[in-house]
Chains A and B, each alone.
Chain A
């Protein structure tokens, strides 16, 4: 039962353009979402998060949008840079908040 889904395993974007990574969830009890970035041979690192009381959160080039009615969130990266090439995971804390459920990840490749 995949409660957090990332349906695009990979995405290629030209440098300087916008990258949009998508994530869908099925559990309406989720009220907080996080995005993690992972480079090869390293552990995931936290990127940005959003609470369900908001529909948008911005941090520099990164913006996360949340559509609760559609159970959908997206991460926008503008402008995309070569260093953004990585695997991106969305995640949500469980109801008891003691663990995170992760999506399967999207590999983003920025083309110079």
Chain B
């Protein structure tokens, strides 16, 4: 199993550009989430999904869109990048309701917006 994979590893965008961060998992997990990590702020939840076709907002959803058309994939879209979105982004997955609470994280995408 590859676990949770994320692409790209690094990305530099100009203000106003859009892009999609890719996330895939091969563990047949129902739940998937996107977090951003900023210095002194810990991991903050952006969006999450409890199954294909179902998504919801986390703590910091503004400026981001998600969709979940399959169990495996959970892409994160930046609509119009802003310098405040410079961060490290982590995708995570876990078993669904009744399963372990443990989340498995991808290696992260480091995004810089200039």
Measured CB to CB, the residues of A under 8 A from B are 6, 9, 32, 34, 41-46, 49, 89, 91, 93, 97-105
List the A side residues contacting B103 at CB < 8 Å: 46, 100
Total B residues in contact with A, Cβ cutoff 8 Å: 25
Taking a contact as CB atoms under 8 Å apart, the answer to whether B4 and A34 are in contact is: no
Label chain B's interface by main secondary structure. Answer: strand
B90 in the interface, Cβ–Cβ < 8 Å? yes
Measured CB to CB, the residues of B under 8 A from A are 4, 31, 33, 35, 40-45, 48, 50, 56, 58, 90, 92, 97, 101-108
> What is the CB-to-nearest-CB distance from B71 to chain A, in angstroms, rounded to a whole number?
15
The CA-CA distance from A49 to B100 in the complex, in Å, is 11
Indicate whether A103 sits within 8 Å of B107 (C-beta atoms), given known contacts A34-B101, A34-B102. Answer: no
The listed residue (A9, A42, A44, A49) touching B43 by CB distance below 8 A is: A44
